[in-house]
Amino acid sequence: MKAVMINEYGDESVLNYTDAKRPEPKDNEVLIKVHAAAVNPVDWKIRDGLGEMFGLKFPIILGCEIAGTVEEVGGDVGNFKRGDAVYGYIGSHAGGYAEYAIAKPDEIAFVPDSLDFENAAAIPVGALTAWQSMFDLANLQNGQTILIHGASGGVGSMAVQLAKSKGAKVIGTASGKNEEFVKSLGADEFVDYTKVKFEDVVKDVDVVFDTIGGDTLTRSFQTLKKGGFLVTAVSPPSEEKAGEFGAKAAMVNVQPSAKQLSEINRLIDGGKLKTHVGTVLPLAEVKKAHQLSESGHTRGKIVLKP
């Protein structure tokens, strides 16, 4: 099979589109013929060297977010059969940039009837990250107000829609060119971070969901009400800073979840959650895909097709 492998850490030049051995499913595993694989920042962060921290061994096939059809099932797999259309988040370095990939049954769900494979591949990481951040960690409730940074990105755009489905008031930040897009997702208010400091115009929110990190994360504490919750998908927040503002803070460590994907499917079928694919490229053009992702200026997901 064709796959994208790395044999050393570095920039996009270390990405090799090459032949690899097709994996065989063991007990409690499913072999998926990949029809679409989405690109996520964790992919190029692993390529840059984060994989060393994870203890990964070369060669590494990148890619964690896929959609495709079940090709073969291992023992003790009762809920999927050959030909089923499935999608999921299969772990941060689990080999999705390939013609075939292995997944656990509790990592994948059936593709909603309304979606093709490209759009299905664009869902799991963004939706699960937003879900686990806002609902599992921050316990966002109906009627509360949430500030979402990076509201036009792959994770942020999912967060806006999921927060609205919960009945929250949503304030989204992005650059001005994305205002119409963010509002079309359901955001009640929009802040153009290139023109104003968000902490000057946003006050007393219940929850902040940060997908940017750095200075944005630190300044976000100023927008929280006493007892508010800041959750970030980027880097560990300062407990000292949280205490200073009488707030709670946490970093999400997103986990695969077939159960949550099934809940997300219901929102998709109900028209409350839409996907946004910005760019579709052949798997062989993975270097271009990583360059686009690293630029930080894409709208919607980048999807690769084997």
Distance CA 220, CA 150 (A): 13
Distance CA 206, CA 155 (A): 19
Residue 225 CB partners (closer than 8 Å, separation 6+)? 203, 204, 205, 206
- pLDDT (tens, 9 = 90+) of the chain, 306 residues, equals 999 999 999 999 999 999 999 999 999 999 999 999 999 999 999 999 999 888 899 999 999 999 999 999 999 998 999 999 999 999 867 799 999 999 999 999 999 999 999 999 999 999 999 999 999 999 999 999 999 999 998 899 999 999 999 999 999 999 999 999 999 999 999 999 999 999 999 999 999 999 999 999 999 999 999 999 999 999 999 999 999 999 999 999 999 999 999 999 999 999 999 998 989 999 999 999 999 999 876 777 899 999
Can you list the alpha helix ranges (DSSP code H) found in 166-257?
Answer: 179-184, 198-201, 214-220, 239-244
Question: Would you state the pLDDT for residue 78?
Answer: 86
Helix-, strand-, coil-residue percentages of the chain, each rounded to 5: 35, 30, 35
Element (DSSP H or E) covering residue 305: strand 301-305
CA 75 – CA 96 distance, rounded (Å): 22
Q: What was the pLDDT predicted at 154?
A: 87
Which residues have CB under 8 Å from 143's CB, separation 6+?
A: 167, 168, 169
Residue 92's pLDDT is 67
Q: Give the residue carrying structure tokens 């955001």.
A: 187
Angle at 114 between CA 71 and CA 262, to 5 degrees: 70
* Predicted local distance difference test score (pLDDT) of residue 53: 86
Residue type, 206: D
Quote the pTM value: 0.94
